Each structure stands twice: as structure tokens, then as C-alpha cells.
Amino acid sequence: MADKLIIVESPSKANTIKKFLGNNVKVVASMGHVRDLPKSKLGIDVEHDFEPQYINIRGKAKLINSLKKDAKSAKTVYLATDPDREGEAIAWHLAYLLGIPEDEVCRVTFNEITKETVKESIKHPRKIDKNLTDAQQARRVLDRIVGYKISPILWKKVKRGLSAGRVQSVAVKLIVDRENEITAFIPEEYWNIYAELSKNNEKFIAKFYGKDGKKLELHKKEEVDEIIKNIENGKYIVRDVKKGEKKRTPAPPFTTSTMQQEASRKLGFPIRKTMQVAQGLYEGVKVPDKGTVGLITYMRTDSTRISEEARAAAKVQITQKYGEKYYENRYYKTKSGAQDAHEGIRPTYIDLEPESIKDSLTPDQYKLYRLIYNRFIASQMAQAIYDTISANIDVNTYNFKANGQTLKFKGFMSVYVEDKDIKTNEDEETKVPELQIGEEVKKEKLNPKQSFTEPPPRYTEASLVKALEEKGIGRPSTYATIISTIIDRRYIQKEQKQLVPTELGKVVNKLLVENFKEIINVEFTADIENQFDEIAEGKEPWKQVIREFYTPFEQEVEKVDKELEHVKLEEEVTDIPCEKCGRMMVVKYGRYGKFLACPGYPECKNVKPYVEKIDVPCPVCGGEVHVRKTKRGKNYYICENNPKSCNYISWNKPKPGEKWEPEKEAKKTTKRKTRKKRKVINNHRK
């Protein structure tokens, strides 16, 4: 019989904590949620003030009975689920099942899973925070209402089995809106003129600025030709020179969203994978001399706050390894509206450098741990310093500017530099020689360059997370779920890291935006998130939020349902006749995308595959290239004559004039398969 029973969410977390405590403590896992709303019905009693009708999750009866038995035989029960709203809700449901009174001091949280923190936290239990559980309930209930009421409309008008989510639908809207911007974009021509100049054989570049000190924008070749003609034989005279210093400050420690963004940019990790790997690092890894410990602090946070103990440890590490001048005691201001319950994401033991424990980690764990470790260390380091020089150079009445910078002191850049979605030359060193006012520099050549404005880029997982955070849509713990859900539903697909709406996604988005514009919009979604925060802070009753939302929403659903009752969505009619009845076939949307169907259904049930073609001929035989999808939704490209007279098939979209190299393609495919096999073998060994 154990004196104490500690219930956590996952077995790996349970195994880590067990090792820190004595034999009189039993640690078990709830395996996530134990109660939830039923899947088969709304599960919310609207007539009785929106009371949720929770049921035990199917398949967990044996586990629940085991937890009850353990709780009955223990003197004290501690609920140590994750330290966020979701974890608080799981603890609340566990307390209900185990008969623990609401005012019982039974809740324990660990911001980091180290021996010291776990033991100290158990000494200071608290009551379950009802405000946090209410905030989670409000989100769960409101999302269930929206999904349960709107999804049937999609079934009637588009396809059975589709679903609409409050936040996911807004994320789809952002991606569709961006795609529409790209489609509607009209590029505009513009020109730059670069002068390659030199002094004492030291070359540098100056860029055209304007005329008579006023900036000029160049849009036509004729304008450029006129300027080049006027300065062809002119003298390049230095009008003024300014020297200065530029400082660059390190990025703060990771929050959930910045970690997801950087892991996507630097490591190529999907958001879901980043969170899975981070969870493993938080819950515990066996390392030399310390045993099994959590290597990072809790990974769901939007705070950049760091404990004084961690700050002091970073100072020791930086000064010993790099020297005193590389250290700077930094405090970062957490953005307004952020929940500051947890620290930023940092390593729990600063002395455990990534290289020293590489053999204890999987390759993915090592990559992410190194990213988190280096980001944190850099956040407590001195600024990087550049020497800068800028010169204005005149030729006749025209003006050029030359800018240079050289790195004088690396500071934090010795350890870590943050990536950006849009690349700049911010860190590049550019040389400009020592110049004197009034001196002439030699012209080597002039390089006019034509360019065109470009449309906004498609979202990547990283840039979508950034947009969701900036617009207040969702919270750190929900970003991974939002993105994986819209991809799994095939509303969005990934093409070389870019998020592209599918035809199904466009159709669903159009229907929702046109008929539920009050709900499927950024402002409403962000406002609801703020209301959830108010509930979590005890400032607003959760049922009041639901009451205010429900009545106008229910009226809107009824109105839309009636209006759409006799409306048939326009179908794309093709020029392909149905071979059974002669009608022109129409485009429909199924689980795996488009297909062709006879419009005479149910009299004629003929269906056939939809063939998507690209405007580039087959690089082998010149035939049409068709786009097909794997079951996982990945595109591949195949010649219309394959396998009759052509063997062209490729993962990569062919480019005009490109030569196909099947041997190279086969090697890539083999490597991909080998990696999968190796991963399976490694998991089996563990």
C-alpha cells in the first residue's frame, strides 16, 4: 500500500517521476483525458443552462477502475497532470471520478521535471483551479456547439463527413484569402541600377538613389537607358561619408509559437512533430550522471520570463566558456495578453550541453534540444556589434548610395542567430573602402537590373503560426492541432512546405464565409479567445459567455439552413460525356480530392477519376503529364503514356526543358524508404 498516489498524464512522465521518489509513492498515468463529451450527440443540455453531459471515454473503463483502486488504497492522492488549462481540466475530471472533493488540496504542477522541482512541488499542493477548468470547458462547449450545428449544413450542400471547426475554419480562411491574393496579383516592373566602383583596386557596389537628392523610382527600361546615357562618361564624386555602429540584440527565449516557427525554418519539422519531440524532452530522458530527467521546461507557454536560478546558471556558463564581455543580464518583456504562468522554454540543466548528451538522445531530440539550448544561452549574451559606413556618391546630377558593414564583435551570434520567414541580408558583411569627401572613385561597370514585384508568399506552417498568434487566433497549445486538423481533413495540402488550399477547402470556405461571416472571421475568433482568458482569470462566468453566443448563433444557423434548402451549389461542368447516358460529367469532391460524376444521379451512378494536367510536356516523350495523389495526399507526376510507351513518373513537377534523371530519383526514393525502415528498427529496439 502506497502512502501517496501521484497521477500524471503519460507513462514516460510517470517513469521519470518514479525515479525521484521513495518506495512509498506510486506514480501512474491517466493516458490523457478520462472523460469527454459524447461523440454521438451534442452532449450539451441547452435547456438546462448548457450543462455538459460528460461520459467516461470508451475503452478507458479498465484504466479508470485501476485508478479508483489505487486511489482507495493510498493515504494521499496528488493530481499532477500538465500545468495548463487542459491539464487542469483532466485533473478536475479525475477528481470527479475518484470522489475527491473540489476544495481538496490535491493539485501539483511541475514546470520542469527535475528531482529538485518535483520534490519541492509535492510539498506545496493546491486546490484545483476552477477558473482554469471553466475556461477549458467554455472552449470545449463552444467548439462543440459550432461544429455540431454547422457541420450538417456542409453534409447537405457539399459532402457527408465534412466538419467545420470554429478556429480551424478561420485558419483555412487565412490560407484561401492568401491564395486569392496571389491569384489576383498583377506584377509590376521596376528597375535598379548598380554601379561597380573601385578605389585603389578595392571594389564595392553603389545603388542608384535618385536625382538632385530626390529619390527616383524606375519602372521602364527607357528611363534606365536615359540615366545610363547621361552618366556614361561622368565622374563619380564622393559627396559625404558617414561612419557608425549598428547593434543587434538576441532573440528572447522560446515561447511555444517561436519554437514551432524556428523548428520549422531551421530543422524542417512540422508543427506536430516539434510538439511531440518537445514533450519527450520535457517528460524525461535518461542521461549520464543524472539518470532520467526532464531536459526542458514546460513547452506550452507564451511567456519569455526566466527564473533567477536559470539566469544565474547561464551567467556562469557564458562567462566560463566565452568570457565576461559576452554576458549581459537580459530581461524580456512578455507581450500583452500572454499567460505568464510558466517560464519561457529553456534547458533545465545548463551544464548539460547538447554535444555532451548527444548519444542519449534520438537525432530529432538532439536537434530540438540544441535549438532550445542555444537560443536560451544566446538570449543572455551581449549584443553583436557592426561597424557601418554609408556614402553618397554623385555623378553629374544623379545620386548613388553605397552601404557597408563589418562585424566587429560577434556577441550572441557566436551561439545562435534567429531565422526569418523572409530572408534579408541583415547579417551579411559588405565592404566599402575608406572614402574621403570630394574624392573621385573609378567606375568599373554599370549593371541595370530588371525586376518585378512579387505576390505575397503562401503560408508555411511557421508563418501561419506567426499569423495566428499575431491575430489572437487560438493559443500556444492549439496551433499544432489546428494545422494538423485542416491538413487531415484535406482542406489544405502541403506543397514543398507551402500550405495550399484544396478545391474542397475552397468550396467549404466559400460556403462558410458567405453564410457565417459573423463567426468565421478573425475578429470574432480573437474576441472569443480573450473571453476565455477572462474566464481563466475569474473575471467572467463561463456559462455567461456561452449564453451570449448561443441565441444569435442558433438563429443564424436556422436562417442559413432555410435559405440553403433549395440552393444547389454550382458544379463545375466538364466537356467529358458520361459514357453511360451522355450527360456532361461534373466535378465532385471526395476524400482524396476531385472526381468526375454523372449529374444524372441517382438514375446514373457513373463516376470516374478526375485527371489534372499540367502545362509542361513530358520530358521523355512530349506527352501530357498528369498529376496524381498518393493516399496520404502527396502529389506525383506521371506521363499519360505510362506504362504503355513511356516510363516517366516523378515526385517533382517537371520544368520546361528539364532532363529527367530516373537514377537520381530512384536513389532519393530508396533513401526515403531506408530512413523509414531504420526508424522502425530503432523504435523496436527501444
Strand 440-452 versus strand 189-199 pairing type: antiparallel
- How would you class 462 by CB atoms within 10 Å of its CB: exposed for 0-12, middle for 13-18, buried for 19 or more? buried
Give the angle subtended at the CA of 489 by the CAs of 487 and 494, to the nearest 5°: 25
CA-nearest of 347, 352, 380 to 287 is 352
- H/E stretch holding 577 reads strand 573-577
Rounded to whole angstroms, how far apart are CA atoms 277 and 369? 9
Q: Rounded to the nearest 5°, which phi and psi values hold at 410? A: -70, -35
CA atoms within 13 A on the CB side of 281: 34
- Dist. CA 669–CA 674, nearest whole Å: 9
Q: What are the C-alpha distances in Å from 452 to residues 423, 455, 459, 569?
A: 17, 10, 21, 38
Which contacts (CB < 8 Å, 24+ apart) does range 19-26 have?
A: 19/291, 19/292, 20/115, 20/118, 20/119, 21/118, 21/119, 21/122, 26/2, 26/70, 26/74
Q: Answer for the pair 227, 192: CB distance below 8 angstroms, yes or no.
A: no
Angle 416-419-424 (CA atoms, 0-180°, nearest 5)?
120
CB-based contact 301:275 (threshold 8 Å): no
Q: Which residues pair with 197 in a beta bridge?
A: 204, 443
In the DSSP assignment, the letter for residue 267 is I
Of 78, 236, 282, 298, the active-site residue reads: 298
Q: Are 216 and 421 in contact (CB under 8 A)?
A: no
Question: Which residues, in sequence order, are CB contacts of 59 under 8 Å at separation 6+?
Answer: none
Q: In the beta sheet, which residues pair with residue 6?
A: 27, 78
> Among this protein's residues, is 190 annotated catalytic?
no
Q: Are 299 and 345 in contact (CB under 8 A)?
A: yes
* Phi/psi of residue 659, nearest 5 degrees: -90, 135
Alpha-carbon distance values, 300 to 296, 378, 479 (Å): 11, 21, 10
CA 550 to chain centre: 31
Residue type, 185: F
Residues forming the active site:
298
